[in-house]
Amino acid sequence: MKKNNLEQITFGGGCFWCVENCFNLLKGVESAISGYSGGHKENPTYQEVCTGETGHAEVVQITYNPDIISYEQLMDVFFFLHDPTQLNRQGNDIGTQYRSVIYYKDETEKAKAELAIKTSQETGRWQGTYVTELTQFDRFWPAEQYHQGYYTENPTQPYCSTVVGPKIQKFKKHFGELGMLNI
């Protein structure tokens, strides 16, 4: 996508409820949409993806303006929001659908993703070897409507209040201090 100078990136960092809300708060992000990528079933449902049998990852597709926020800044946020050393899980969310994955569209984007992984590893933010997959982008399936903005609509839901909310607060503090938020 190169419409009105907007670009897209798709990646998975565990539960999309945790990731989508944060990206939608960033200056330069036009939208962050929860969905599924990387599987073998056409138009999968949440229930199907949760089985782990479709091969999809829960992902967020971000449309952004690179004149306002760079690919590298988005990668920094991505690695801030999840632990890229956990294979097929994020905390208590276990399964291949929660894998750490970056979907690249071409060789240039793949090289940028490889550099982002290397740069993040060198910070020492996460202890251990990164297991983030780099996978050629094929197709994005938007998740069901009730998943879009899920945290905003359901902040008192138990998972949201105990897992998503604290992650968002940590994100707001860090990236707010950097002046990167729209709030």
The active-site residue, picked from 15, 18, 22, 160, is 15
Query: Could you confirm whether 15 is annotated as catalytic?
Result: yes
Q: How far is CA 108 from CA 57, 100, 168, in A?
A: 23, 20, 31
Distance CA 174, CA 180 (A): 9
Residue (of 85, 40, 145, 133) closest to 49 by Cα position: 40
Pairing of strands 100-104, 133-136: parallel
Positions marked catalytic: 15
